Structure 1
């Protein structure tokens, strides 16, 4: 393959990976919309809908699954989600096929491409389990985390492709070293993942308005809560988790756990910003993390006070996605700082040698 052909291929890969980031965000939000309008079981089977690839009429649906009457709107919402998710899978396959001729080049992110393919396949399986296990909260929460993982892998692939296109290798033909993550970075990332998982757990157990009022919950600072039932992760499957099965005290515990998680996450992000604010490369992303956290906190409070309107719940999910992207970019800026410095030092040595 000529250099010009490689450059064209690389430009296509970078464009497709960036499209993948945007497309994945759209798929996540469509999935959240599907759950919020109670369309998660709009089609009782998978991958079709009442045995067909498009939503059938009521007569055919009744003949296929008599115990699940057709709700046309919910069924179409569910099928649109499946269509866009399938298109995302095709995009991943296209990236892997297009990048295969470059896989042996130094620093080409072939491993990231394969990881993306593996995760999208697992994500498809979780999409099926969401239906077949009747919205089991564990599966719904993992499905959300899987969607965010796909988005992150698209983003990481795009950043790695840009670095590869820039040809930033040492004279020895290897990638310059990257700065390792410190325990503080690891803690902030872990808490962000945990908080998003808690948010998914709140949503999948319909605990979004288990607490009335803020900052108190149902008029109390520490209301009656059933933590063991609220976070019982090994309960049996089914028969159907639409609208949830937990009692009020268990849902209250889930809501309070999410609130406490938000507080701890905010403290960790504040410590991270204070520790690294002096680094110019990190400052924009640390500022973005702080700003998005404040916005997300406000959206969460508004969701409680306004009784979880659809548009506001979608914005809250979008805020979580934006936080994940900002964290990923901050981590990238942190790790790349040492690589850029090492490359500059290596270039200087080469010039001195010449």
Structure 2
């Protein structure tokens, strides 16, 4: 099949894909709200919250639950974490539906998708009863089935990307579980953020391909190279942003910008700041790094932000020279300027929650813009 031809999918597939993409954006933004309001460990058990499918309404409701010995109950935080979990679970069901629809014409396609989902489902009660290793192994087995199927299937009916998206969702569930089990370990928190945005990107790409609204340009190939370069830089910057957040390094430079603690280049410790694995059993809430290590993380984030902003503005200028792409050029330039402004305001205003959440949403919108153009651009036949 031509890489740009319309895939053969169920007639309402694109509507479900857009619904899932919209919900994924909500999960990302609400997840940022949960993380930045320090509510990530407010439900110390998983997937329940102090043994409840929803969340307790008062502290006395959890006195008899084992999780109450792990962390004191905070009503104003617990609902945030559990609502986020419910939104993520709903998204998972939508992605499962998309996978079933995409694989329905494949030999044993539906059986493979359901088998993977069943393995993951069987792992949940095991995890709740303390069998963490067994639960993880079942989820990994489900992942293996999906990845093997994706490697065999083509994308003529979007079966490959749908299976990959479901695999990412399952891995997201594992990361969510490990976030609680390993007490906000930075590599897990960062991976959870990247996984959410990867899910969003895959769903947006799938939705556009199913919608089939191409943008035909003679120099589409060159523009796609520009866009893929931008996506790589954006992914790096998002990862660094996740590392900043996971290590509580957002205000490591104080309220200084563009300087950091009054200096253009303060003492830093990159080797310590970018240690990815520090063992288990440590509570990472609030961060464990010293000032120089956190400053190193913050400075890396700022430096890559400059490179990314220059690159994307150059890309916007490149798009502006093509009459049919001027709207996208303006949108991209505005998003870049908005993200830079929000990043500066986060520092100068001491990380106010609405601005910090908006900064996360801005990253998702930048990702949406680049993925949209990659999915829609094609050369004339």
Task: Output the TM-score relative to the length of structure 2.
Answer: 0.78
SS in structure 1 of the partner of residue 63 of structure 2? helix
Query: Do 2:190 and 2:243's aligned partners in 1 also have CA atoms closer than 8 Å?
Result: yes
- Give runs of ≥4 in structure 1 deviating > 6 Å: none
> Which of 364, 374, 377 is the aligned partner of 1:321?
364
> What residue number does 1:352 align with?
none
Q: CA deviation at 1:60?
A: 4.8
Q: CA deviation at 1:15?
A: 1.2
- Alpha-carbon separation, structure 1, partners of 2:226 and 2:250: 30
- Alpha-carbon separation, structure 1, partners of 2:191 and 2:41: 17
Deviations 1:305-349 (A, max 9, x none): 11011111011111111110111122234xx321xx11xxxxxxx
> What residue number does 1:202 align with?
244
> What residue number does 2:375 align with?
332
- Alpha-carbon separation, structure 1, partners of 2:324 and 2:279: 49
1:188 has 2:191 as partner: no
Larger Rg: 1
> What residue number does 1:169 align with?
none
Q: Cα RMSD (Å) of the superposition?
A: 2.4
Query: Do 1:136 and 1:238's aligned partners in 2 also have CA atoms closer than 8 Å?
Result: no
1:308 has 2:308 as partner: no
> What residue number does 1:213 align with?
256
> What residue number does 1:237 align with?
280
Q: CA deviation at 1:233?
A: 1.3
- Alpha-carbon separation, structure 2, partners of 1:55 and 1:310: 23
> What residue number does 2:291 align with?
248
SS in structure 2 of the partner of residue 19 of structure 1? helix
Q: CA deviation at 1:102?
A: 5.5
- Alpha-carbon separation, structure 1, partners of 2:343 and 2:372: 24
Q: CA deviation at 1:228?
A: 1.2
Q: CA deviation at 1:55?
A: 2.2
Task: Output the TM-score relative to the length of structure 1.
Answer: 0.83
Q: Which deviates more, 242-251 or 286-295? A: 286-295
SS in structure 1 of the partner of residue 12 of structure 2? helix
Q: CA deviation at 1:52?
A: 2.7
> What residue number does 1:172 align with?
none
Alignment gaps of 5+ in structure 1? 1-8, 167-177, 343-354
Report how many aligned residue pairs link the two structures: 319
1:86 has 2:135 as partner: no
Q: CA deviation at 1:179?
A: 3.8
Residue 191 to residue 159, structure 1, CA distance change in 2 (3 Å): same
- Alpha-carbon separation, structure 1, partners of 2:86 and 2:247: 26
Q: How does 1:1-354 map to 2 (within 5 A)?
A: 10-56=10-56, 57-63=58-64, 64-65=66-67, 66-101=69-104, 107-163=156-212, 179=221, 184-211=226-253, 212-333=255-376, 336-338=377-379, 341-342=380-381
- Alpha-carbon separation, structure 1, partners of 2:59 and 2:330: 53
Deviations 1:185-221 (A, max 9, x none): 4432211100011111111111111112111111111
SS in structure 1 of the partner of residue 286 of structure 2? coil
Q: CA deviation at 1:59?
A: 3.7
Query: Do 2:342 and 2:359's aligned partners in 1 also have CA atoms closer than 8 Å?
Result: yes
Q: CA deviation at 1:299?
A: 0.5
Deviations 1:81-129 (A, max 9, x none): 1111101111111222334445699932121211111111111111111
SS in structure 2 of the partner of residue 234 of structure 1? coil
Q: CA deviation at 1:258?
A: 0.8
Query: Do 2:319 and 2:328's aligned partners in 1 also have CA atoms closer than 8 Å?
Result: no
- Alpha-carbon separation, structure 2, partners of 1:37 and 1:72: 13
Q: CA deviation at 1:229?
A: 1.3
